[in-house]
Amino acid sequence: MKKVFTVTSEDKTTRARTGQITTAQGPVLTPAFVPDATLGVVKHLSSLELKTMGLQMLLGNIYHLWLRPGVPVVKKMGGLHQFMDWHGPIITDSGGFQVLSLVYKNKMGKVLANGIKFKDHLTGTLHFLTPEKSIDMQLGVGSDILMVLDYPVLENSNLKDNKQSVKLTTAWAKESKNYFDKHSRKDQILMAIIQGAGNMPLRKQSFEELEKVGPFPGYGFGGPPLNEKILAYTASLIPQDRIRYVMGGGTPRDIIKAVAMGWDLFDCVIPTRNARHGLLYTFKGEVRISQTKYKLDKKPIEADCPCLACQTYTKAYLRHLFKAKEPLALRLFSLHNLTFYMRFMKRIRKSIETERFSALLKNY
């Protein structure tokens, strides 16, 4: 196993730590938040704006890129970095979560021992996603950090489904790694995903089986990160020198609590999705811009925020744009929320380095 992650400092009262992930496109300082660029774009924002706000890495969704514009198109255009003009690190997911959502929520497919047969949500075309195909597509778009195809289940899944999830996740991780080892560049990183839902023994079993397949330089938390006890336990299973990745987490409060458990990497649609609904984040709390109290408010969203929205406009004007359904509002709110997340993660890293993390955690 090649070394791609280094711990640089540790908090004395929690399991929080700072670190650095080494990728082909440069380092990623952790704890880090990664926004979802589902279709090769963070909604409403340009790659230049993302770079300017201090964003370190983006997440591409291989399921959606597979359907639009198609992996061959991205590959012919020089890979996802070139295609979207983003020259920082890119992490891609396997597509499994989206595909399994179609299978279970919409009854549009079936899980087999060697992959997932499903109909896509756009045209109803039949597809077959295997561990090898997922890795092949992630390699095809030029991802820096790839995720194995896994079989996620919900927190309240029955024991039979949970055991099947762990079994297939291990088998698919082995197939994913075999394909990755044969076809990847030396500077690309493959991470596995620990399943087991809310069952501690199965979480332990999943990790131990994946370690035998790997070992992998990093592990994701499989399934929705809703159970804090299970989230903390899963972090404790992962060795100190590996990347710990909470997939789909979360709000600022969720993130700082997970950092205290020892998690390093986070991705979620929350900052941009909530921006489109008029929910804005500040260090003093949430701002729901549609509220009447902001109708004549001459102050910015947050006085010391460097984003365009805060440096240029009042809350009154921003509320007007939002109520009038002007597209500019969604763009400005997305800029603000992601800028806040970058400042928030930087503040977390600094607090760990200066032994002030516990005080910051207490505030949340």
pLDDT, tens digit, 9 for 90 and up, residues 146-184: 999 999 987 888 999 999 999 999 999 999 999 999 999
Residue type, 342: M
Domain boundaries, given as residue ranges, for the chain:
5-268, 276-334
Q: Could you report the per-residue pLDDT of 220-266, keeping only the tens digit for each? A: 999 999 999 999 999 999 999 999 999 998 999 999 999 999 999 99
Write down the catalytic residue from 93, 144, 150, 254.
93
Is residue 150 annotated as a catalytic residue, yes or no? no
**Is 181 labeled as catalytic in the residue annotation?**
no
- Domain 5-268 fold: TIM Barrel (3.20.20)
pLDDT tens column, 12-66:
999 999 999 999 999 999 999 999 999 999 999 999 999 999 999 999 999 999 9
